[in-house]
Amino acid sequence: MTLQAQFAVAVRREPVPARDPLSLAAEETVAVAPLAGEPGDLWRDLLDGRLVYYCEGAGPLGRYVVCRVVDGIWGGPLNRRETAVLTRVLCGQQQKAVALDLGIACSTASKWFTQAVEKLHLERAPLPLPLVVAAQCWASGETHDLTARTANLFHEETQFVVFSVPTPRLDGETLLTRAEREVAVALIEGRSRDAIARRRSTSSQTVACQLRGIFAKLDVKGRCDLIKRGLEDGWFR
């Protein structure tokens, strides 16, 4: 399959093969990449249309995303309304709270969020962990205590950017039990409730109860808010 055909498949949100040459190259590149100085730059370039999300994966150092460098603007940047709603949601606010804060209807906030996600070709949920981290760093203007890595990658004469964040470490989070810490890590990485249940050989209802306990103990309102708590508490060192 040509690179152009692979890119078209990715845009349609069909799975990219886990061990395709580009994914292997991304893992090898990010393993020796320098620490990222400004993780928020990746999110800014996505918003401005200079990068296009291509695929995501997991390697020995954590989760990574691969973005294609675009000549010119791909599909046009997000407008201010779409940027405001999308970034606030990725920073942990619920859509209902975002709508209230912006003085708009919940349906309007939902529409702008959906439009923003579609423009960035991120239709599949949940959004990749590295992109959520990059969005939060961009919104806050801080790099946090974060061991992120970024590198340029050339594959079949096309330039890509690889951005990686480490697997979160919750060892010192004494408010949670060991089982809750493991479930929290799986959620942060982007696994669904059913996938977590299968991985832990338990029921979805048990995982749901554990997630409610995690959210209550840490006073967070969902996955993105949990990631924000992790950035603030140094889980991604």
Q: What is the pLDDT of residues 20-69, one digit of tens each?
A: 788 888 888 888 888 777 889 999 999 988 899 999 999 888 999 999 99
User: So where are the chain's domains?
Assistant: 3-74+122-165, 80-119, 178-233
One-letter amino acid at 213 equals G
Least confident interval from 17-21, 40-44, 211-215, 227-231: 17-21
CB atoms within 10 A of CB 233: 16
Q: Does domain 178-233 have CATH number 3.40.50.300?
A: no
Window from 93-97, 104-108, 140-144, 198-202 with minimum mean pLDDT: 140-144
Q: What is the largest CA-CA distance in the chain?
A: 50
For the chain, the average pLDDT equals 87
What is the tens place of the pLDDT at every residue in 109-121? Answer: 999 999 999 988 8
Task: Check pLDDT > 60 for residue 18.
Answer: no
Say which residues have a Cβ less than 8 Å from residue 204's Cβ, sequence separation at least 6. 193, 194, 197
Model pLDDT, residue 75? 56
Determine the pLDDT at residue 2.
44
d(CA 161, CA 63): 14
Question: CA 92 to CA 106: how far, in whole Å?
Answer: 16
pLDDT band for position 13 (cuts 50, 70, 90):
very low
Q: Which long-range contacts (CB under 8 A, 24 or more apart) does 126-130 make?
A: 126/190, 126/192, 126/223, 127/90, 127/190, 128/53, 128/56, 128/63, 128/65, 128/190, 129/63, 129/165, 129/188, 129/189, 129/190, 129/227, 130/42, 130/56, 130/63, 130/64, 130/65, 130/163, 130/164, 130/165
Asked whether the predicted pLDDT for residue 229 surpasses 90, the reply is: yes
Q: What is the pLDDT of residue 76?
A: 62
Report the pLDDT averaged over residues 93-109: 94
Sequence-distant (6+) residues with CB within 8 A of 182 are: 200
Q: How far apart are CA 213 and CA 141, in angstroms?
A: 31
pLDDT of 7 higher than 60? no
Q: 184-191: which pairs have CB atoms within 8 A and are 24 or more residues apart?
A: 184/214, 184/226, 187/211, 187/214, 187/223, 187/226, 188/129, 188/223, 188/226, 188/227, 188/230, 189/58, 189/63, 189/129, 190/63, 190/126, 190/127, 190/128, 190/129, 190/223
